Structure 1
Amino acid sequence: MRATIRAAHTVDGFQDWLRAEGHSLVAAAELLGGKKWRASARSVVASVSQNIALIELYDDISELYRLLSLEFTDDLDSEEAELFFAIHPDDPRADEARLCKEALERGLHAMRRLGKASDRATEAA
């Protein structure tokens, strides 16, 4: 039960972070993925500001997490790889992107924990 409450608080904090720091997520998405990813991040941030449930945005948030985790840089001909290799490691925007990735990771993890708790409650009923 405590874990579920902690997860719920983490999800609430993640939603607050998206509202307050959504601009950072948009900038990180653009830095590492270009215009397409900037639009995706803007869509998530706008949806959160319109009180869309985070679970409805789970797939989009997961894809943004994959972007910020550099999963799309394996294809060296991709725009994501090109943008990534153009960033100097000491660029403060790279650190901001890392912080955004960590926030997405915490939020997604908490959302999964809540989903599992909900599934267990449904099975018990």
Structure 2
Amino acid sequence: MNDNSKSMRATLRAAEQRGEFVAWLRADFNRLVAAADLLGGEPWTRRAGVVAEAMASGASPEVVEEELIELHRLLTLEFADDIESDEAARFAAVHPDDPIADDARVCAEALERGLQALRAFPALAVKEAA
């Protein structure tokens, strides 16, 4: 198999993953908003709402990529390191058996895969064009 064929397959796979991410964002925005509310409260609920509204209106995820990155950071508990933060207090109050806690984990994983696909797709497309 030549390099062009491998590169084309990688580009197609990245495009497919990006499409799956967009579909997930549009279908599961309620879970994302609820997870953001659970771990971050009202400010994060609003931020997740911005993403949901953008996706519902047909925007590409790149338009709200910064918000997606920040939501990923919230859902992977990066903000819980500061024990004085609201995010740390909210995380401490989460019961592990709460279904929304599991939704938050699922959303964090989906955001991880989706953000990787967003990064990979343009890089592979540029390489393919060159």
Task: Please tell me the TM-score bracket, short chain as reference.
Answer: over 0.9
Instruction: Report how far residue 13 of structure 1 moved.
Output: 1.0
Q: Which residue in 2 is equivalent to 1:120?
A: 127
> Structure 1: 5+ residue runs without aligned partners?
none
**Tell me, which stretches of 5 or more residues in structure 2 are unaligned?**
1-7
Q: 2:72 aligns with which of 46, 50, 65?
A: 65
Check the 8 A contact 2:18/2:114 in 1, yes or no: yes
Cα distance in structure 2, aligned partners of 1:121 and 1:53: 21
* Residue matched to 1:23: 30
Larger radius of gyration: 2
Q: Which residue of 1 aligns with 2:84?
A: 77
Give % identity: 48
After TM superposition, what 4+ stretches of structure 1 lie above 6 angstroms from structure 2? none
User: Residue 96 of structure 1 corresponds to which residue in structure 2?
Assistant: 103
1:93-119 CA-to-partner distances (Å, cap 9, x unmatched) read 111100011111111010110121133
- 1:44 maps to a residue whose letter is V
The Cα of 1:121 is off from its aligned counterpart by 4.1
Partner of residue 116 from structure 2, selected from 92, 109, 112: 109
- Once the two structures are TM-superposed, the CA of residue 120 in structure 1 deviates from its matched residue by 2.3
The answer to whether structure 1 residue 6 and structure 2 residue 13 are counterparts is yes
Tell me how large the CA RMSD over aligned residues is. 1.1
Is 1:32 aligned with 2:36? no
2:118 maps to amino acid = M
Letter in 2 for 1:105: E
CA contact (8 A) 2:22 2:60 kept: no
Partner of 1:89: helix, strand, or coil? Answer: coil
Q: Distance in 2 between matches of 1:114 and 1:105?
A: 14
